[in-house]
Structure 1
Amino acid sequence: MKLNDLLRENKIVAFGFDAVKDLVRFDNKDSENTVIVSTISPSLLARHGVIEYYGLELSRDIVYKTGLDIIKADINVTKYRLIALEIYPLEKKQDFVIASRHKGTIDILKTEFPFLEDAPVFERVEATDIKGKHVFGTLPHHLIPECDLYTSVSIKGFDYAKDNDLIGSELIERIQIAETPIMLEKID
Structure 2
Amino acid sequence: MKLNDLLKENKIVAFGFDAVKDLVRFDNKDSENTVIISTIAPSLLVRHGVNEYYGLELSKDTVYKTGLDIIKADIDVSKYRLHALEIYPLEKQQDFVIASRHEGTIEILKNEFPFLENAPVYERVEADDIKGKHVFGILPHHLIPECDLYTSISIKGFDYVKDNDIKGVELIERIHIAETPIMLEKID
Aligning the two structures, in what range does the TM-score lie when normalised by the shorter sequence?
over 0.9
3-state DSSP of counterpart to 1:183: strand
TM-score, normalization by structure 1: 0.99
Aligned to 1:23: 23
Instruction: Provide the secondary structure at the position in 2 that maps to 1:171.
Output: helix
TM-score, normalised to structure 2, is 0.99
1:173 to 2:173 alignment: yes
Return 5+ residue gaps in structure 1 as ranges: none
Q: Deviations over 1:85-141 (max 9, x none)?
A: 000010000000000010000000000000000000000000000000000000000
Q: Please report how far the alpha carbon of residue 160 of structure 1 lies from its aligned counterpart in structure 2 after TM superposition.
A: 1.2
Unaligned runs of 5+ in 2: none
How far has the Cα of 1:5 moved from its partner?
0.2
Counterpart of 1:62 in structure 2 is 62
AA partner of residue 99 (structure 1): A
Equivalent residue, structure 2, for 1:138: 138
State the Cα RMSD in Å: 0.4
Q: 1:7-86 residue pairs with structure 2 within 5 A?
A: 7-86=7-86
Q: How many residues align?
A: 188
Please give the alpha-carbon distance, in whole angstroms, between the structure 2 residues aligned to 1:107 and 1:58. 29
- Taking the TM superposition and a 5 Å limit, the aligned residue runs for 1:114-125 are 114-125=114-125
Identity over aligned pairs, percent: 87
Paired letter, 2:13: V
Alpha-carbon separation, structure 2, partners of 1:161 and 1:94: 34
Moved over 6 A (4+): none
Supply the distance in 1 between the matched residues of 2:158 and 2:13 (Cα, whole angstroms): 23
Shift of 1:162: 1.0
Separation of aligned partners in 1, 2:101 and 2:72: 30
